[in-house]
Amino acid sequence: MLKPSPLKALAAVVREVGGDFVLEEIELDAPREYEVRVKLVGCGICHTDIAVQKGFASPLPIVLGHEGSGIVESVGDKVTKVKPGDSVVLSYDYCASCPNCRINAPAYCYNFFAHNFGGSRPDDQSVPAHDLKNSIYSNFFGQSSFAQYAIAHERNTVPVSSSLPLELLGPLGCGIQTGVGTVLNSMKIRPNESLIIFGGGAVGLSALLGAKTVDGTVVTVVEPNPARRLLATELGATNVVDPATVTNMLEYIQQLHQGGVQHAIDTTGIPSLIGTGVDSLMPNGTLYMIGVPPADATLPSNLLSMLLRGVGIKAVLEGDAVSNDFIPELIKLYEDGKLPFEKLIKKYKFSDINQAIKDSLSGATVKPILIF
């Protein structure tokens, strides 16, 4: 069997903070012994990609993208999990050796930042992609999938059936996984329980979809965009709220839910909404924090009140999901007609990546997917 060799591919590169994505030809390494080279068919755009484009965390120049799906093109010598021709979804990376990884909690890997935001291979700081003169950071979330081909690690590559609409499945590796996982893995919502979700974007509406897989759940979505409120209703929300029409959000929630809710999710990162969410909780309730707050934000709620009601805040990464186990569960829900995440999606040509990002930021599109 011939060993894989480097290949040329088109990638969307960000070279300066706030700059557009520019399609450039890169040369991508052959996969190392535990690596997998994937020919992308689709890749979701997540707000984390946009945050890095605007200067958050990762070095430049970089190939972003972390919701990739595609066909395995080649594998390293020691890869046994997948083979060329397999359909796969790519998810977040982790070290597999720290205390949290050893207890099967890889979303809280001690080395999560290096494996997902560092842009290079954590073991030796090398990168898989190069232009004609220089190296390009290209290990974002262990995949850098805004490209025709990507190098991933065996551990963050999840095999899926070839009968599925592969181009739609990438967001199962991050955004949809995060929303649904927060409800089913972190919260473990039970029949007839109540939940309020602040923010009706891709993650918030995925959380709604997760809640509606459980019988009798009462779910309120707070969202300023009218089209997204309409979609939330279509997806099964019990109530939708335009925050611009509410003078006192806490009182409104308490009246709507006969005193308060058992669970709350914040996808906005807005401290005042997080505080309102905590204050709206019934005794023993929890607010699950997914949205990224400002760097200087502090706890926006009265600690004594929290103590006396036994309520709390839990920050959630990646929906508390072990992707290799949870993505197949999400697919089963989808196949059973219980998780219609395709209703969140709009497809874009790879060459239209900058327009897709504009539409995401404006609220015109909930979950853009680039098609290669």
Fold (CATH) for 7-173+340-371: Quinone Oxidoreductase; Chain A, domain 1 (3.90.180)
Q: How far is the C-alpha of 228 from the C-alpha of 32, rounded, in Å?
A: 43
What gap in Å lies between CA 154 and CA 173, rounded to an integer? 14
- 321 closest CA partner among 230, 186, 200, 208: 186
Instruction: Output the DSSP codes for 71-116.
Output: EEEEE-TT--S--TT-EEEE-----S-SHHHHTT-GGG-TTHHHHH
Decide if 37 contacts 4 (C-beta within 8 A).
yes
Is the CB of residue 255 less than 8 Å from the CB of residue 239? no
- Alpha helix ranges (H) inside the chain: 47-53, 99-102, 112-116, 175-181, 202-211, 226-234, 249-256, 271-279, 303-309, 323-335, 353-362
The end-to-end CA distance of the chain, in Å, is 28
Helices (H) and strands (E) in the chain, counts: 11, 18
- CA distance linking residue 164 with residue 148, whole number of Å: 20
**The pLDDT of residue 132 is above 80:** no
pLDDT at 292 over 70: yes
CB 140 within 8 A of CB 119: yes
The DSSP secondary-structure symbol of 301 reads S
> Is the previous residue joined to 61 through a cis bond, with omega within 30 degrees of 0?
yes
- pTM for the full predicted model: 0.96
Two structure tokens written together for 241: 């709220």
Structural domain boundaries in the chain: 7-173+340-371, 179-317
In this prediction, what percent of the chain has a pLDDT beyond 70?
100
* 194-221 pLDDT, tens digit each: 999 999 999 999 999 999 999 999 999 9
- 202 closest CA partner among 121, 267, 261, 255: 267
- Rounded Cα distance between 232 and 198, Å, is 12
Instruction: Give the lowest-confidence range in 50-54, 267-271, 299-303, 310-314.
Output: 299-303
Give the CATH number of domain 179-317; options: 1.10.357.10, 3.40.50.300, 3.40.50.720, 1.10.10.10: 3.40.50.720
pLDDT (0 to 100) of residue 1? 59
230's tokens: 């309409």
| 352 has pLDDT over 80 | yes
Is there a contact between 362 and 225 (Cβ–Cβ < 8 Å)? no
Q: Do 7-173+340-371 and 179-317 agree at the fold level?
A: no
| Contact (Cβ atoms closer than 8 angstroms) between residue 45 and residue 357 | yes
- The SS3 of residue 339 is coil
Which residues are paired to 14 by β-bridges? 62
- Taking 90 as the threshold, does the pLDDT of residue 270 lie above it? yes
Token representation of residue 337: 């007609």
**Span 264-280, average pLDDT:** 97
Percentage of the chain lying above the pLDDT 90 cut: 96
The pLDDT tens digits of the residues spanning 304-329 come to 999 999 999 999 999 999 999 999 99
